[in-house]
A = this chain, B = another copy of it.
Amino acid sequence: MKLFQVGERKIIQHIRRRFAQEGQRLFTGIGDDTAILKASALGPAGTKDLLLTTDVLVEGVDFDFRYCSFHQVGFKAMAANLSDIAAMGGVPRFYLVTLGLSGDISLDQLDQLYEGMADLAHNYKVRLIGGDTSATRNGLFVGITILGEVEKGRALVRSGARVGDHIFVTGNLGDAAAGLELVKTRSQGLTARSSLLLRKSLLPLTQRQFYPVPRIEEGRLFLTNRIASAMIDLSDGLASDLRHICNESRVGAVVEAAALPLSDTLMKYARNIRKDPLMFALTGGEDFELLFTVPEGRISHLMRLTRHKRLRLSRIGKILPRAAGIKLKDDRGRVVPFPARGYEHFKNGQ
């Protein structure tokens, strides 16, 4: 059944029935003019600040159905938004969905889109409380707004980095960008056999592109243990996102190329296509790892936490005075300017 045969009211009823868990104690959800969040929904009165973030993915710009499924688009839209809450050290609580849909989408595809969102949302107990759906002339867009919470006055903003702080990242860098390149090129230029082999051995890269994991737990740990002085999620790429921290904190930085965490799969892929894996790590976006700064005095505590919680962290550099700029120390110890920015809308050929 296509949406143009169904009508908006039926679509909303369908979504409400399937995906909106009612929670009368906390909220009145879909089906009135607005969602109502009860005063008690956000923990003991006056102890929490609210976090609000919104992120939209547009077909043909942020995703392409030649390379991904409706489920993946829903999952990734949710991941990108959750990652912003993670980057503040916050707890995601509720979400609203804004959809632009063309009438030729089927109800089944719409379900897959919501399932992608719900699979991840469910994992973090984030609940759907409302939204809006419009038709589009063509193409789809998915906007999610998340409401989260954080201990009063404790959100991990970008502006808290101080000279002498160490720079850390969670996980590996560059996999998501390599994964996207891989799916885009896998039918081009590779023989059938090498393509199949490559695809199998490089599957982790495409997983990282289409099913990114927001670092909610890690963000919470760094906040509750007072580890991080500043934090951001890596959505546009290290080059771009480190600049955000440096600009907002009015500091400089040096990053050691040799310390950047690269997965074996990325190394293998880069060797195969004769590219420098570092470029994926530096300018590739959508890893949704956390980039954060840690004062010297908190390092030993972080090390204990890392062992205890089996975190995968890398110390990649140090915060310098602003006048030092943002520098990269390459494998041979040479200091070079940081590479150009990562992904930016209306540039990069948009």
Residue total for A at the interface (Cβ-Cβ under 8 A): 82
A135→B49 contact, CB < 8 A: no
A306 proximal to B (CB < 8 A):
no
User: Could you say which of B4, B88, B131, B346 contacts A135, with CB atoms under 8 Å apart?
Assistant: B346
Check A185 for interface membership: any CB of B closer than 8 A: no
Sample 10 A-B pairs with CB under 8 A, ordered by A number.
Answer: A32-B159, A33-B158, A34-B148, A34-B155, A35-B51, A39-B46, A39-B48, A46-B46, A52-B94, A56-B100
CA distance A129 to B53 in the complex (A): 9
Query: Is the CB–CB distance between A158 and B32 below 8 Å?
Result: yes
Contact A7 B347 (CB under 8 A): yes
Q: Given the known A-B contacts A32-B157, A132-B54, are A39 and B88 also in contact in the complex, defined by CB atoms under 8 Å?
A: no
Whether A347 contacts B8 by the Cβ 8 Å rule is yes
Sorted nearest first, the 4 A-B pairs with minimum C-beta distance are: A45-B46, A45-B45, A34-B53, A33-B87
Interface residues of A in 297-350 (CB under 8 A from B): 341, 344-347, 350
Taking beta carbons and an 8 Å cutoff, which residues of A are in contact with B? 3-4, 6-9, 11, 28, 31-42, 45-62, 84-85, 87-88, 90, 94, 96, 98, 100-101, 103, 129-137, 139, 141, 143, 145-148, 150, 152-153, 155, 157-159, 231-233, 248, 341, 344-347, 350
**Is B350 touching A31 in the complex (CB atoms < 8 A)?**
no
Whether A137 lies near B61 (C-beta < 8 A) is: yes
